[in-house]
Amino acid sequence: MKQLFYNQSIEQVFESVDTNQEGLTQQAVQTKRSQFGTNELEQKRQTSLLEKFLNQFKDLMIIVLMVAALIAAFSGELVDAIIIMLVVILNALFGVFQEAKAENAINALKEMSAPDAHVRRDGQVITVKSDELVPGDIVLLEAGDIVPADLRLIEGAALKIEEAALTGESVATEKQFQQLADDTLGIGDRSNMAYMNTNVTYGRATGVVVATGMQTEMGRIAGMLNKTAESQTPLQANLQQLGKMLTILILIIAAVVFVIGLIRGQETLLNMLLTAISLAVAAIPEGLPAIVTITLALGTQRMVKRHALIRKLPAVETLGSTDVIASDKTGTLTQNKMTVERLYTNDQVIEATSKHDNTTELLTKIMSLANDTKQTPDGLQGDPTETALVQFAIDHNAVVDKVIADNQRVAEIPFDSERKLMTTINQSSDGFFAASKGAPDVLLERASKIEINGDIQPLSDQVRQQILAQNHELAKQALRVLAFAYKPLDSVPAEPTSAAIENDMIFVGLTGMIDPERPEAAESVAKAHQAGIKTVMITGDHRDTAQAIATRLGILTPDDEDAVITGAQLDEQDDATFAKNVKRYRVYARVAPEHKVRIVKAWQKHGKVVAMTGDGVNDAPALKTADIGVGMGITGTEVSKGASEMVLADDNFATIVVAVEEGRKVFANIQKSVQYLLSANLGEVLTLFMMTLLGWQILAPVQILWINLVTDTFPAIALGVEPTEKNIMKRPPRGRKSNFLSGGVFSSIIYQGILEGLLTLGVYAYALWQPLHNTDAQIHADALTMAFATLGLIQLFHAFNSKSIHQSLFTVGFWKNKYFNLAILVAFLLLAMTIWLPGFNQLFHVTHLELSQWRAVAVAGALMIAIVEIVKLIQRKLWYQNAKNDD
């Protein structure tokens, strides 16, 4: 069982790690290094570019295409084989290129390690590389340092450590050095511990190393990342399912045609084998993997323009199927910046955003003086609470530099976690005075007067209770409250002490601060709710702060206390119980990294597609476990970005909603392409199948491949950039069980494929019935050419039908997508030139057609649009009637 050093005395800690105040000897360091190894994180083995490339060929659809290409090559159809393999290789290169841009999460963790550490060994303070630390080393910390290992703090002054990357808590943690009695404290509450790769923002301290490398809290997270399996996206699952279905269908159809042809005895074994290959070529949508990849790639380009960076192509579509967004609070829903929100001064509560005139002048003066913030060309630097105070003063027209220059600091009593006060002694033209800030209850005990609108009055018990009531009211709103006071001085003691200075003070006011929600976050949460997506907030902050922010964001209602749960309460439930109760909770406070993974997995057990947003190291395991991890580009650590499929370049929660809309659009457009391709290929299969049964001359493999290449590829890609359909964000999420064939797509593929086949066979029969030539050879050649032209042209006409699964073409519009119109034109010219240009006639086994024959081909194409439009109209009326009856 892992030792909990925070609940041990310093003597017990020293005994546990075999050290003392003087530090380790060099001999002890060498012995421990051989026992514990170096203080660094283990790196997960990376896959090479070759492995990434070969992994692209594990998809069943790709395997089917390669088998078809192999059969075609052995049968002498080298053109078919070459084109199919080109499609396969291009698809693999797309995938490798996208994945090659990803950074490894464990590498990023390793790079975050502090380069140097100040340690006491053999009684002497020396500087060593952080990876040389071992348990038992005595480490010295000061403001600006990165904590080099997990430490139990043993002594120091006014230490504050910013732990947002580990705990998610936006406020720097005030540290102490006493033993803690509770043995159930979470990481964020272990105030006498300092953890690897967190930042010292204030004060100084000495600590003893209690864990290094993979035994640290950072190491635990790295281990969780290594153990997390890559999850399959809904898109990948859909394509895999579709590939299995097509494989079975293709094998059955090819086998049936092959057997029927042999039984009829009209064809040789070789001819029937070629016929079966033709059917396989017709049935396999060989362009589908490339079209999906291109559609996703175009989606990523659009999302980049809208500040969402995609690391893996399938992540574009995954967001579109999201049911739950499990969002980190700090830096994602909030600004990760402490901000003054309300003030109490001159006997009134003031909103920070209102105009104050001179009401807050004295308060902002003390804010600026009892403060260690530095103003630099890069902005304010210092403790987040103190920079918030200075920023408030600047925002309200206080010239802070002038205030500091006119009131020079001559002495100070630094902040102390026991005293909970900070005081500076300043000299102005009027003499000396002390400016103090600190905990309201503490400062009120040391105040005897209050200044209201320039009038100094005695601080009566009634006024004192009034101030404490205001403090309580601000605290109830999850605001962090500080009090401010001052005191005129006749002189400055040689050694200022709290007892001498911090008494008989004049109270000035209170400030209430919070890490506020992003301005657009509440609207984004509402949009997500409208889209049927549940937003769940996860944070390391305290319960009251989490509940207040969630209520302001609209995640909770004011009475939703039962929807808030802490990490400690979560620990009381086993996985089965929590999975059963997970739908009750919308806010998680004081959580650890393993809690976040449990939350994601609990939702996934309900079949939900979960997106996890986050910016800290603590978020990385859950980001990797989720169906899609969404990292923050600005405030996010390299670890969180490395574990994510998508990164928000602007750290804006609203961008997630934009990405969801884009993901839904991508899925809808891929679904349109799937419907178009499969119905077209079904039409080809039925045409060849019926030609075989009827004993007609069948289309040659090169003709089928040309139709597939020309009429499938260009229009299908163009369908991938169709504009977003109306109300796409008012539809419920598709969920994990939906696929490309759901929502009426499968039935549409069947009837539209049959319709294409019947119209093509009809034109073939018409050519035999109304011949323009006398010889049988010429009549059959014309009929075959008309069937070839009809099958290609019908598919181009049908592409217009496919611009929407259910909406009328006249509603969607003919000309809104210029790329689509250009694709149709290019495809038509490529199809027509095989018939029009003399050099291509022999290559494609076709003849020149007369105007009347082209007229029959065009009528068949027009009928395709008309019949599908009528069916869509009937479907819409039936659905409307059913919906009305359900109401």
The residues that are catalytic are 328
Residue 828: strand, helix, or coil: helix
C-alpha dist (Å) from residue 268 to 258, 273, 670:
10, 9, 40
Residue 133 CA to residue 151 CA, distance in Å, equals: 11
- Cα dihedral 101, 105, 109, 111, rounded to 10, equals -20
Burial bucket for residue 268 (CB in 10 Å: 0-12, 13-18, 19+): exposed
DSSP string computed for 415-481: EETTTTEEEEEEEETTEEEEEEEE-HHHHHHTEEEEEETTEEEE--HHHHHHHHHHHHHHHHTTPEE
d(CA 370, CA 96): 56
Burial class (CB in 10 A: 0-12, 13-18, 19+), 559: exposed
- DSSP SS3 for 805: coil
> How far apart are alpha carbons 564 and 872 in whole angstroms?
47
Instruction: Using the structure block, give the residue that is written with the tokens 């039984």.
Output: 263
Are 233 and 186 a contacting pair, CB within 8 Å?
A: no
Residue 488 φ/ψ, nearest 5 degrees: -65, 145
Count CB-CB contacts under 10 A for residue 463. Answer: 17
DSSP for 741-764 reads TTTTHHHHHHHHHHHHHHHHHHHH
Q: At what angle do helices 776-801 and 745-769 cross, to 10 degrees?
A: 150
SS3 content of the chain, % helix, strand, coil (to 5): 55, 15, 30
Q: Distance between CA atoms of 172 and 600, rounded to whole angstroms? A: 27
Which residues touch 281 (CB under 8 Å, ≥6 apart)? 68, 72, 80, 84, 701, 704, 705, 708
SS3 68: helix
At 373, list the tokens.
């913030």
Which H or E element spans position 104? none
Task: Provide the residue count of the chain.
Answer: 887
> Pick from 135, 190, 186, 182: which is nearest to 161 by CA?
190
What Rg value do the Cα atoms of the chain yield, rounded?
36
Contact 779, 843 (CB under 8 A): no
Amino acid at residue number 260 = I
| Rounded-to-integer distance, Cα 859 and Cα 853, Å | 10
Distance CA 126, CA 120 (A): 6
Instruction: Please give, one letter per residue, the 3-state secondary structure of 237-290.
Output: HHHHHHHHHHHHHHHHHHHHHHHHHHHHCCCCHHHHHHHHHHHHHHHCCCCHHH
Q: CA–CA separation, 210 vs 152, rounded Å?
A: 7
- Residue 683 in contact with residue 791, Cβ under 8 Å? yes
